[in-house]
Amino acid sequence: MRVLFVIPCFNASENIEKLGASIIGQNSEEWDAIIIDDMSEDNTYEVASKFRNDKFTVIKNTEKKYALRNIVETSRSFSDMDDIIIAVIDGDDYLCNRDAVSLLIEEYKKGHEVVWTAHRWDVNNLNISRSMPGNVDPYSWPWSSSHLRTFKADLLNKVDDKNFKDVNGNWFKRGYDQALMLPLLHVSKSRSYIDEICYVYNINSVSIPYRDYEEQSQISTINIVRARGYLG
Amino acid sequence: MFKSPFNEAQTVSIQQMIQSSEVVFVSDFFVEDYAGGAELTTEALIESSNLKVCKVRSNQLTMDLLSSGVSKYWIFTNFSGMNKELIPAIIANLRYSVVEYDFKYCNYRSPEKHEAHTGSPCDCHDQIVGKMVSAFFHGAESLFWMSEKQKKVYEDLFPFLAQKKSSVLSSIFSKSFFEHVTTLDTENKNDSYLIVGSESWIKGVEDSVKYCEENGLEYEVVSGVSHKDLLEKMASSKGLVFLPRGGDTCPRTVIEAKILGCELILNDNVLHRDEIWFASDNIRDTVDWVMTGPNRFWEEVNRNVNKQPTISGYTTTLNCIRQNYPFKASIESLLGFCDQVVVVDGGSDDGTIEALNEIAASDDRVIVHVQERDWESKRFAVFDGLQKALARALCTGEFCWQQDSDEVVHENDYKKVKDLVKQLPKSMDLIALPVLEFWGSKGKLRVDVNPWKWRLSRNRPHITHGIPAKLRVFDEEGLLYSKQGSDGCDYVRSDNYEPIPFVNFYTPEAHTLRERAMAGDENALQNYIGWIQQATSSLPCAIHYSWYDIERKIRTYKNYWSTHWQSLYDISQEDTVENNMFFDKKWSDVTEEDIANLSARLEDEMGGWIFHSKVDFSKPTPSIPVTDSIHPESISSWRQKK
């Protein structure tokens, strides 16, 4: 089994070196990575290109797709392989545990199809990931599978794209975390939470008290996804 | 503690003054107390108002006064004297603008003065004063600044303020000022430069004197003269020297001197110095800008005072035609006061969707979304709340009005809804409003049920519908259901399902009256009726036609509702005589004739019955008699059909 890091980026030039280094520094070599530059307005692509080698692919979009579509489309191109673990890292975050890859592979070897780990927010070390009872409907259960979120690439074969789109059939632009993970959790036969901090989530602290448009729009996606439930 | 009767009298008179106004100005001083630059600008604004304005001194402000003016529009200018503990209540409840004359985030109201006094740079923006003032500014509908540079100082220190609606007002002058200056002779100037005398450190008089002496300028320091005399001096002087030691946001004197043709010697601390309207060589540009200041202010304030917040109505449908729900009347009434109506249908197969699409085709405010559900599945009852949650998530208005497809709002209440959203304190996320429940078609309203329902809410993304956290249970298949106590449609937070706090007009006193009326107290019933009339005359209400056609209702109970509650509460009920609250026989043995007979009797003899227990005709419930005029026009064709 190998971990494939899928990294959608937008204007992430300041963080991308740290992120890349956190992947290269993994103790296990069983990984590959794809950085997708989603029409950044800064030099994200140039900075990311420094990492390009056999294990690191760097793609530049010619159409703005937003994180969810980038993740799903990239992951679907590996969904005919049964030994690929997709691990999503946002362009402005990074890994903080050199054993992340080994921990994931070890967990997947137990037969799970979705695995997530603990993380910490950069501002206050908060971790909102937690375990989820094995059989509950993830759409009715409080959000648990935050970063680092991973899934078997072939699990996507069971999920229709309509789960990732709004009521007008457009890909969700914001609030992709629940839109991506709830259908995958729903179709997974077995899921697991690793209580080890593997991921640092950078939060823009200004947006918390003032709930700007971005955040409102994220929650609105979440409300739609949760109200609709799984679309089979 | 005793309340001073004198203060109380004062409070009452200020309260009356606030209530008869549309806009309340709050300031430390007004021009009748002290004629400083800020006060003169404030007065010029008040003088040019087309709205009813009143003045409240900041040190007189109390929580009582704030609550009495919750529906007014407030303008805060200088507020040093205000009890700062009121700030959170103001942010949470009032609609207001701020006119910032200096730098109130700083304890010295000037970062330069701060540094000169303490020897270290101003750090007030990181202190409680800075946080409090910036939060106060952030809570405003709009901000008015004296100059671009002043605005920039704030936005550099508090970047979130850049998102606020704001405009540069500059100093404002009264009409009489312009009338007066046109009478002055500016043609015959002497060779002298004016320096306006002041004891204040920040005005930099010594620096101006020094400048004139070093540059060999003839000068005169003027102090203690009336404003009129000062203007005359300006008219006859060659120039004005003003070199303040700290940022002066938009000093009036230099604008006056400019208009009166003075040559100006100023430094960078005259913050408006380089703005186009002032830097222009053409005095007309300056005069035009200053004269239109009141328009810039009142245009924005009028917009806020008269702002009609947008309302999204939302409802859910499922086979309404087959079940004879008055969904068309319901939607028609929503269109009477909503800017958008969202209907989520659960996959009707009886023509409801086609009828909805027809309505949407004729009115582009209507959005129809079909979200099919497996209504045969074990936990289908939970979908009810999820359909509402989805409809709500599709709403884009500032307020949301939830209405079931058998509820209708009377035409007379449309305006009440629109007025209510204009006046609602900002901190109220959810309010319950009256609901009038029909019992049969013979003019009876129920007393046996609560007269309120969660209805109107702010469209905040954290609000959704569902089963509250403490009632959520998962069955062995991992599927959600509810403990008894929720209909699955409660207003809950989307992240943790905790209930949303709400405001209700239904008081414990009214509840006691209703209970006494239910127990047979005729006097209490009359008082309760009076209370209901009063509540519904001031608040918009929905009329619920669920039990209007009792026969239809019993039929849906037989076919749907009993299984609904079983699904929602995980109770398994066999079809036995004991489990049938309507008839002394099993549901499977109930005939159409049985239903017709029972509904006729219920309609005649009872004023309502909650079917948690077997109907008991020996305990007739009271009801409120009403005439046909209570029915909205929109429901008439549905009623006729019935």
Of residues B639, B612, B453, the one with CA closest to residue B545: B639
Q: What is the pLDDT of residue A215?
A: 65
| Structural domain of A161 | 2-228
**Which one of A140, A163, A177, A190 would you mutate to disrupt binding with B, by most B Cβ within 10 Å of its Cβ?**
A140
The label of the residue with tokens 């739609």 reads A224
Cβ-based contacts of B394 with chain A (< 8 Å): 167, 224
CB atoms within 10 A of CB B627: 7
Residues B107 and B91 in one domain: yes
> Nearest-5° angle of CA B264, CA B265, CA B266?
105
Provide the CATH number for the domain around residue A176.
3.90.550.10
- Distance of residue A216 Cα from the nearest chain B Cα, in angstroms: 6
- Distance of residue B501 Cα from the nearest chain A Cα, in angstroms: 19
Residue B478: which of A135, A216, A226 has the nearest Cβ? A135
Instruction: Give dist(CA B114, CA B151) in Å, integer.
Output: 19
The answer to whether B259 and B283 have CB atoms below 8 angstroms apart is yes
If one counts the domains in chain B, the total is: 3
Q: What is the pLDDT of residue A209?
A: 39
> Residue B187 burial (CB < 10 Å; 0-12/13-18/19+)?
exposed
Instruction: Give dist(CA A185, CA A171) in Å, integer.
Output: 19
> Residue B272 burial (CB < 10 Å; 0-12/13-18/19+)?
buried
B642 pLDDT band, cuts 50/70/90, is low
Handedness of CA B531, B535, B538, B540 (dihedral sign): negative
Measured between alpha carbons, how far is residue B609 from residues B200, B515, B556, B574 in Å? 78, 14, 16, 23
CA B263 to chain centre: 49
Q: What is the pLDDT of residues B519-553, one digit of tens each?
A: 999 999 999 999 999 999 999 999 999 999 999 99
Q: Residue-wise over B285-311: b if at least 16 C-beta within 10 A, else e?
A: ebbebbeebbebbbebbbebbeeeeeb
Residues B106 and B234 in one domain: no
Q: What is the pLDDT of residue A7?
A: 97
Instruction: Give dist(CA A129, CA B172) in Å, integer.
Output: 56
**Which one of A132, A213, A228, A230 would you mutate to disrupt binding with B, by most B Cβ within 10 Å of its Cβ?**
A228
Cβ-based contacts of A212 with chain B (< 8 Å): 163
What's this model's pTM, rounded to 2 decimal places?
A: 0.85
Residues B294 and B253 in one domain: yes
Q: Is the pLDDT of residue A205 over 50?
A: no
Instruction: Tokens for B154, please give them.
Output: 């704030």
Residues B290 and B410 in one domain: no
**For chain A, first and last CA: distance in Å?**
28
Provide the CATH number for the domain around residue B276.
3.40.50.2000
Cβ-based contacts of B387 with chain A (< 8 Å): 227
Instruction: Give dist(CA B624, CA B447) in Å, integer.
Output: 7
Handedness of CA A64, A66, A67, A70 (dihedral sign): negative
**Which one of B474, B482, B496 would you mutate to disrupt binding with A, by most A Cβ within 10 Å of its Cβ?**
B474
Q: What is the pLDDT of residue B5?
A: 44
Average pLDDT over residues A191-213: 73
DSSP 3-state percent helix, strand, coil across chain B (nearest 5):
45, 15, 40
**Which one of B131, B373, B462, B467 would you mutate to disrupt binding with A, by most A Cβ within 10 Å of its Cβ?**
B462
Residues B450 and B568 in one domain: yes
Q: What is the pLDDT of residues A35-46, one digit of tens each?
A: 999 999 999 999
| CB atoms A219 and B496 under 8 Å | no
DSSP SS3 for B371: coil
> Is residue B21 less than 8 Å (CB to CB) from chain A?
no
Residues B140 and B185 in one domain: no
Tell me if the bond preceding A148 is cis, omega within 30° of 0: yes
The answer to whether B65 and B21 have CB atoms below 8 angstroms apart is no
Nearest C-alpha in B relative to A166 = B394
Of residues A46, A70, A66, the one with CA closest to residue A58: A46
Q: Which amino acid is at B220?
A: E
CB atoms within 10 A of CB B522: 10
Q: What is the pLDDT of residue B82?
A: 95
- Distance of residue B427 Cα from the nearest chain A Cα, in angstroms: 15
Of residues B116, B111, B141, B112, the one with CA closest to residue B127: B111
Residue A227: which of B138, B393, B474 has the nearest Cβ? B393
Q: Are strands B366-370 and B444-446 parallel, antiparallel or unpaired?
A: unpaired
CB atoms within 10 A of CB B82: 21
B7 pLDDT band, cuts 50/70/90, is low
Q: Is the pLDDT of residue A109 over 60?
A: yes
| CB atoms B386 and A227 under 8 Å | yes
Q: Is the pLDDT of residue B638 over 90?
A: yes
Average pLDDT over residues B436-465: 96
Of residues A35, A74, A24, A39, the one with CA closest to residue A57: A35
Residue A223: which of B163, B387, B461 has the nearest Cβ? B461
Q: What is the pLDDT of residue A211?
A: 43
Q: Which of B271, B304, B337 delimits the end of a domain?
A: B304
Residue B480: which of A140, A215, A220 has the nearest Cβ? A140
Q: What is the pLDDT of residues B371-410, one digit of tens each?
A: 999 999 999 999 999 999 999 999 999 999 999 999 999 9
Cross-strand partners of B194: B220, B240
Residues B99 and B216 in one domain: no
Handedness of CA B277, B278, B280, B283 (dihedral sign): positive
Instruction: Give dist(CA B167, CA B143) in Å, integer.
Output: 7
Instruction: Tokens for B146, please give them.
Output: 């004296």
Mean pLDDT of chain B: 93
Residue B390: which of A143, A219, A228 has the nearest Cβ? A228
- Distance of residue B153 Cα from the nearest chain A Cα, in angstroms: 18
Q: Which of B145, B168, B191 delimits the end of a domain?
A: B168
| Structural domain of B266 | 175-304
Instruction: Give dist(CA B187, CA B235) in Å, integer.
Output: 8
Q: Is the pLDDT of residue B557 over 80?
A: yes
Of residues B532, B547, B534, B542, the one with CA closest to residue B602: B547
Of the CA atoms within 13 Å of residue B335, those in its CB half-sphere come to 16
List the single range of A51-65, A82-96, A201-215, B422-436 with lowest mean pLDDT: A201-215
Q: Is the pLDDT of residue A207 over 70?
A: no
Instruction: Tokens for B456, please give them.
Output: 């109107």
Q: Which of B286, B304, B322 delimits the end of a domain?
A: B304
Nearest C-alpha in A relative to B468 = A140
**Which one of A213, A215, A219, A225 would you mutate to disrupt binding with B, by most B Cβ within 10 Å of its Cβ?**
A219
DSSP symbols for B116-150: HHHSS---GGGSHHHHHHHHHHHTSSEEEES-HHH
Measured between alpha carbons, how far is residue A110 from residues A4, A104, A105, A138, A195 in Å? 18, 10, 9, 21, 16
The label of the residue with tokens 């100023």 reads B266
φ, ψ of residue A20 to 5 degrees: the values are: -60, -45
Q: What is the pLDDT of residues B604-636, one digit of tens each?
A: 999 999 988 899 999 999 999 999 999 999 999
- Beta strands, E only, B380-512: 399-402, 407-409, 430-437, 444-446, 452-458, 463-466, 472-474, 480-482, 490-493
> Is residue B394 less than 8 Å (CB to CB) from chain A?
yes
Q: Are strands B311-317 and B340-345 parallel, antiparallel or unpaired?
A: parallel
Measured between alpha carbons, how far is residue B594 from residues A126, B122, B411, B574, B587 in Å? 62, 84, 37, 20, 11
List the single range of A118-132, A214-228, B300-314, B595-609 with lowest mean pLDDT: A214-228
Q: What is the pLDDT of residues B158-171, one digit of tens each?
A: 999 998 999 999 99
- Residue contacts between A and B (CB atoms, under 8 Å): 66
Residue B464: which of A167, A223, A228 has the nearest Cβ? A223
Cβ-based contacts of B462 with chain A (< 8 Å): 219
Residues B284 and B350 in one domain: no
Greater confidence (B264 vs A175) lies with: B264
Cβ-based contacts of A229 with chain B (< 8 Å): 386
> Is residue B386 less than 8 Å (CB to CB) from chain A?
yes
The answer to whether B409 and B540 have CB atoms below 8 angstroms apart is yes
If one counts the domains in chain A, the total is: 1
Residues B407 and B467 in one domain: yes
Nearest C-alpha in B relative to A135 = B478
Cβ-based contacts of A222 with chain B (< 8 Å): 494
Residues B443 and B559 in one domain: yes
Provide the CATH number for the domain around residue B135.
3.40.50
Instruction: Tokens for B291, please give them.
Output: 């004269």
Instruction: Give dist(CA A127, CA A146) in Å, integer.
Output: 9
Q: Is the pLDDT of residue B603 over 90?
A: yes
Instruction: Give dist(CA A126, CA A111) in Å, integer.
Output: 29
Give the residue numbers in A contacting B (CB under 8 Å), as ranges: 133-137, 140-143, 167, 206, 210, 212, 215-216, 219-220, 222-224, 226-229
Query: Please, which residues 443-472 of chain B have a Cβ atom closer than 8 Å to chain A?
Result: 461-462, 464, 472
